Structure 1
């Protein structure tokens, strides 16, 4: 290959990586489905794990050929680069091993092999806190997909409160996060440099706030009492559907029918909610749960269905529209992009999903790559959202960044 051609290939690869929306570092093949990386704690959907607690990675391979897969765990820096630590410094045992637990699907139209691996296990125990990347590789040592997760060791406590915006222009549409870091047993010499908090809305890394310095110091407390600087668009409650009974329609499913090979689930058409008043209904903040009434074990008995999404609205000239949710790892690509049907005057998308209960919403992306969760769905200060404050700590001279505390807040309890 000529030097010029190599340069062109490198430049194209760089552009794809730079402008891609995916939080993964590799493009997942279409035969990998339903990747779940979660703590084993009840109602904990995010891969934020207390050091020593159990968590699990699972996924389906629709090739259903019992391929041998391997996992590899790597410690990362605050900015998600691979750190300079040796694996023995952050892992007891091995940071690579074969995934031995797999089963073929049973009585499903879509055949697949379900894989799962739990941590800590007899071969791999994580020793220190921080950002981590887990990669799944095939027999040829090729990376098939990757996921990020966080391990924290509680050395501080974090108090979080959610407020209405103090800005009159956004008082009805935004929520602000205030928090206090309590460190009675930890000496912090230079908090403005050593402590790096990050705020997440609904465990979604598309919407984060960082680069915050303590505003006040009170004994062994660091106070972050910002308002405008820590304000999020509140968005709206997530839409949802439940196709645990794949053959039947339900509250948000207009019809379900068997196609040539698989079932098709048609959702009722959605319309923009940006000009609609706020309506309260429960959601799980963008997450999903695999379940089925057609078998006993949802891991292997749940089938796959083509889920058809429709959004009735005029075409946006300079923006793309996506179905957004944890089911797609909050990444935006052609798999979950809606394309406009000029004849019917609506956006449409079809996504192959495993049976279960799903939250989703519609987001827009403009030419500057800015993501909006409120242009179509609207934004109301009353919206119920989860907020997570992650406390990163890198002591002067340390070789890695720790996560020393996690705090949680929910906008059900707004403090004005």
Structure 2
């Protein structure tokens, strides 16, 4: 497992977001559920803001994908009852905010678009010129198997204190699997982040109606560290980890600086694994009444990281990097600084480095520890001989437990 994440430019499933599209979320309606991996038939809601605030006409498009996020062989009529592309009609302007914006939302499925098959899906938003404004991935699964997942401290003596091992089993009494090497693909995700995954796994043992994946090294993930956080639920006043608020054309929030320490030790801090929640305590409707503030991040370091760029990293931009979340080193202040315009809410974030080879590392600055509480999701894809597409026949979830 290579936890350094290779950034591949122009990959179709990477999010393409203009500077004026913010606060993109694709989630089910359950409270505190951030996952877009849901049972077939579950309603997901896509929402986002356009800071141009000019009520553009956007369309959504749904496309069925393979397990490795390539376009599948199915035509839209084979996996959708209705239309795979349609106009987003739920459009509302912001109210009583310093930063004007237009809020868009669409539910999938809806009366015009009913998805009939499990699998990977790419949801795109297109502008008037049919240009892709943003994309988000989601997975619809059938509960045709039972997937058991365990997470333990690494058994490799070299990574005993820095990595975690994921092992799992697929129980399939109602599914006939003749050739697992050809018919089954599995993906192991860390914290619902598609940039941190392990694929290309074969079963280590076979039992009747059961496949076992009991690797000791091949399914190792870097533990990482708990995410940092802040809460901007009050736009005019300081709140959690916000040390100063300045009113200009919009509000500017200055976060407590983070100090880099190469000998940093693990300290438990509950988090939501990099996710964010839009909320304000100063209005009734967070969708259209939550304001935007310029968040000022700072990372104290005696000297810059040689040959590396530094980024603020989290689900607020789908775990991607861009100029929008890049930090600059200020030699006089001995710190990296970065400013990101974000809607009011509770946010998790961390710092990531990008080297000259295009490898992104989320552990350079905040460290990696076997104790870190992470969530791992195993997705099982099934394509029997003669089938034209891959079903998702089950998922399993496991959490690290320090007592194991």
Q: TM (normalized to structure 1)?
A: 0.92
2:363 is the counterpart of 1:380: no
Residue 276 of structure 2 aligns with which residue? 288
2:303 is the counterpart of 1:311: no
Partner SS, residue 99 of structure 2: coil
Residue of structure 1 aligned with 2:199, choices 210, 221, 245 = 210
Residue of structure 2 aligned with 1:66, choices 38, 50, 55 = 55
Shifted more, 118-127 versus 76-85: the winner is 76-85
Shift of 1:353: 0.2
CA contact (8 A) 1:385 1:412 kept: no
**Aligned runs of 1:47-196 on 2, under 5 Å?**
47-196=36-185
Shift of 1:98: 1.0
2:220 is the counterpart of 1:231: yes
Shifted more, 266-275 versus 53-62: the winner is 266-275
CA distance in 2, matches of 1:199, 1:388: 6
Shift of 1:19: 3.9
Shifted more, 110-119 versus 406-415: the winner is 406-415
Shift of 1:274: 4.1
**Superimposed CA distance per residue, residues 295-347 of structure 1 (whole angstroms, 9 cap, x where no aligned partner):** 00000010000001000112011111111100010001111111111221111
Residue 342 of structure 2 aligns with which residue? 353
Residue 243 of structure 1 aligns with which residue? 232
Gaps of 5+ in 2: 1-5
2:18 is the counterpart of 1:40: no
CA contact (8 A) 1:21 1:331 kept: no
Shifted more, 178-187 versus 25-34: the winner is 25-34
Residue 285 of structure 2 aligns with which residue? 297
CA distance in 2, matches of 1:125, 1:271: 49
Shift of 1:145: 1.7
CA distance in 1, matches of 2:262, 2:78: 50
Shift of 1:21: 8.2
Residue 8 of structure 1 aligns with which residue? none
CA contact (8 A) 1:104 1:300 kept: yes
**Superimposed CA distance per residue, residues 4-62 of structure 1 (whole angstroms, 9 cap, x where no aligned partner):** xxxxxxxxxxxxx9843877456321111111011223332121121001111000011
Residue 3 of structure 1 aligns with which residue? none
Shift of 1:396: 1.6
Shift of 1:157: 1.0
Shift of 1:164: 0.6
Shift of 1:67: 1.1
**Superimposed CA distance per residue, residues 215-238 of structure 1 (whole angstroms, 9 cap, x where no aligned partner):** 001211100011211111101110
Gaps of 5+ in 1: 1-16
CA contact (8 A) 1:161 1:414 kept: no
CA distance in 1, matches of 2:166, 2:101: 43
**Superimposed CA distance per residue, residues 236-293 of structure 1 (whole angstroms, 9 cap, x where no aligned partner):** 110000010011112311101111x110010011012541221112100000000001
Shift of 1:92: 0.9
Partner SS, residue 258 of structure 2: coil
CA contact (8 A) 2:15 2:320 kept: no
Residue 3 of structure 2 aligns with which residue? none
2:254 is the counterpart of 1:266: yes
Shift of 1:81: 1.9
Shift of 1:392: 1.2
